[in-house]
């Protein structure tokens, strides 16, 4: 029994070896590399965070590279599933690092401007890539700095002067979106009107003139 199993295993190994040599059976280990190097990047980020944790509250300088490396590593892993995650992840990476610095550091309000701006840009690009809606997301690029400045207003001393650029940028964003949405509606309206005219034309072809036939039928009957 053992000898028979030995021959079967040996034959299978020979067959697999021939298939690999003749490229009939390919060995692709690229996925291991594609997952390994992002894990190394994440590990570097974790080491930076541990450097802060070991020296807290004085090691806040480690928080920015910690968030940067961890976000980039996670984005690259998700990028193996879909490339949609790559660009938003790389844009959000410095924002995550600054957010960690804001949360665990001295909470300087000035950090909220790049945090809000970059995270908004990341969300806008992710939405545009996911739904292929780059045209209607153009106003989001004007809204991004407005979000950052508004966060600075909320987290700072609530200086009313900050609301002026927020209002201007928001107005520009809403105006552009209104024009784009109007163009989208007008572009779709031609299909609605064209479809209605085509349907009306088809109905005029297939509709039977019942009243006209009935009128001629009654007229012939009265003449007889």
Residue 216 has pLDDT above 50, yes or no: no
Residue 28 has pLDDT above 90, yes or no: no
- pLDDT tier at 79, thresholds 50, 70, 90: confident
pLDDT of residue 27: 58
Residues 6+ apart with CB under 8 A from 144: 116, 117, 118, 120, 121, 124
User: What is the average pLDDT value for the chain, to the nearest integer?
Assistant: 80
Residue pair 71/86 in contact by the 8 Å Cβ criterion: no
pLDDT of residue 64: 93
Nearest alpha-carbon partner for 42 in 72, 80, 82: 72
Q: What is the pLDDT of residues 96-125, one digit of tens each?
A: 999 999 998 878 999 999 999 999 999 999
CA distance 18 to 13: 9
Question: Quick one: which H or E segment has residue 182?
Answer: helix 163-206
CB atoms within 10 A of CB 74: 19
Kindly report the pTM of this predicted structure: 0.68
């Amino acid at each position: 029994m053992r000898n028979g199993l030995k021959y079967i295993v040996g034959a299978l190994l020979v067959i697999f070896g021939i298939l690999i040599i003749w490229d009939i059976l390919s060995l692709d280990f690229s996925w291991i590399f594609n997952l390994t190097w992002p894990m190394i990047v994440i590990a570097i980020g974790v080491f930076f965070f541990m450097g802060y944790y070991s020296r807290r509250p004085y090691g806040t300088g480690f928080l920015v590279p910690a968030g940067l490396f961890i976000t980039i590593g996670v984005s690259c892993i998700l990028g193996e599933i879909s490339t949609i995650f790559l660009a938003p992840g790389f844009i959000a990476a410095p924002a995550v690092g600054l957010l960690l610095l804001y949360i665990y550091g001295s909470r300087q309000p000035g950090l909220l401007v790049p945090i809000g701006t970059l995270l908004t840009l990341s969300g806008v690009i992710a939405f545009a890539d996911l739904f292929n809606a780059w045209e209607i997301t153009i106003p989001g690029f004007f809204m991004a700095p407005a979000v950052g400045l508004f966060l600075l207003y909320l987290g700072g001393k609530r200086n009313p002067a900050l609301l002026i650029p927020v209002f201007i940028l928001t107005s520009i964003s809403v105006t552009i979106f209104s024009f784009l949405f109007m163009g989208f509606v007008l572009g779709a309206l031609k299909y609605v009107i064209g479809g209605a005219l085509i349907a009306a034309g088809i109905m005029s072809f297939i509709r039977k003139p019942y009243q006209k036939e009935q009128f001629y039928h009654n007229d012939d009957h009265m003449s007889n």
